[in-house]
Amino acid sequence: MTKNSKIQAISTKDVPRHIAIIMDGNGRWAKDRGLPRSIGHRNGADAVKRVVKAAAEIGVEYLTLFGFSSENWARPVDEIKELMKLLRLYLRSETADLHRNNIRLNVIGQREHLEDDIVELIENAEKLTQHNDAMTVNIALNYGGRVDIMLAASKWAKHCIDNNIEPDLMAAETYFPEMLMTGSMPDPDILIRTSGEQRISNFLLWQCAYAELIFTPVYWPDFGQKDLESAIEEYRTRERRFGAVGASGINS
């Protein structure tokens, strides 16, 4: 961390435990520069490395990155091939570095739609880093929030049948969240979306029910430590009420 980092002034209790990011704007970043979209995606991969490093230095425990949605398969075939190529490159080149820095890599999403060699790279990376505890990086691949909830509901129903549990609300509040793809991880404190778009695009729908939403006009390839610090500074100004009455006595 740089000596002038604003985060140095933030105590550990003020650092959000879990930050989720919708990495948006690679294509527009490239278009603005008269470059092919593939160059935007490559620079976006570099931004992932910067942000993972910055988040670890700041003390974030969980970082969840929306890498490829279940809807992204509708993109042009050549663009999908480029994205999968970059994913392979990232897993091959960064896994060892993550391990050296005591960072765990975890992938959420439906793997059965990914190519076999990519699944193997994911499994190898997860196995190598499974006991690391400095930070967990979740990469969402072929992920959709609605499917996440539906699959969790199916698991919950099977759990109730197999264990003869009455599926009441109290039991569901206790066990259901653990059946989501994020498992027992804490829900995100912040959801950041880059590029100026202001929607959550089927990402962590259950988990982000009470996340603070921060939208930035910065395209993802330009996003870095200062932008992450600014988002955390904005988060610190928010009053998180989780549905309760705030300090002002207003619940709006």
Question: Which residues belong to the active site?
Answer: 24, 72
Amino acid type, 185? M
23 three-state secondary structure: coil
Residue labelled with tokens 């391990």: 99
Provide φ and ψ at 43, rounded to 5°: -70, -30
**12 vs 28, 57, 249, CA distance in Å?**
36, 12, 28
Amino acid type, 50? R
Provide φ and ψ at 114, rounded to 5°: -90, 155
Q: How far is CA 93 from the centre of its chain?
A: 20
Residue labelled with tokens 């959801």: 191
Residue labelled with tokens 């982000």: 208
